[in-house]
Amino acid sequence: MAQIASMDFQTEIKCPAEKFFNFFRTKAQLVPSTCPSVIKDVQLLKGDWETEGSVNLWRLKLTPLYLKEEFCPILKPAVKIHNIGNNIETLKETVKAIDEQNKSISFKMLDGELLDTMKNMKSNMQVSTKGDQSLVKWTIEYENANQELPARYLDFLPGWTKAIEAYLLNA
């Protein structure tokens, strides 16, 4: 019997919440620049880069994913992404909702290798101000027959968030 599960990831960042949110909101096509060894490509399949209902196709190299400097040199030494193997995975998603006031974007996965083990997957990114820093919260909701969310995805989101932070701080 399928179970619906939810996982939250929170990462503190030093760049302003508005800047991080707007990067996802208006510049998704630049995301591969943040960590090109892991994010190989993103293509716009429907709509535009800024509106609900848009559909994106991501090509990711996530198997296995470890933290190390050489594969994502934009990151500071404390948080590095290292990827071993040649497996490229695709992830086709639609932008379900954009909430400017709460700096939140919701996505629904439509297709890709992850759906080989999942029946359904949704994600939400929300950025908030926390003192002189910001907090990025990812919530993943998934329906899965008998498995946990694959570890490569658990490792990916916090590392990717830090890669985007480093990219934005150096931009």
pLDDT tens for the chain, residues 1 to 171: 567 888 888 999 999 999 999 998 999 899 898 888 788 899 999 999 889 999 999 998 865 544 444 444 444 444 444 444 567 888 899 999 999 999 999 999 999 887 777 778 899 999 999 889 999 999 988 887 556 666 666 677 888 888 899 999 987
Domain with 122 in it: 3-170
What is the reported pTM?
A: 0.82
Query: Could you give the number of structural domains in the chain?
Result: 1
Contacts of 53 (CB under 8 A, 6+ apart): 46, 47, 94, 95
Indicate which CATH number applies to the domain containing 107.
3.30.530.20
Instruction: Show the tokens assigned to 166.
Output: 């480093």
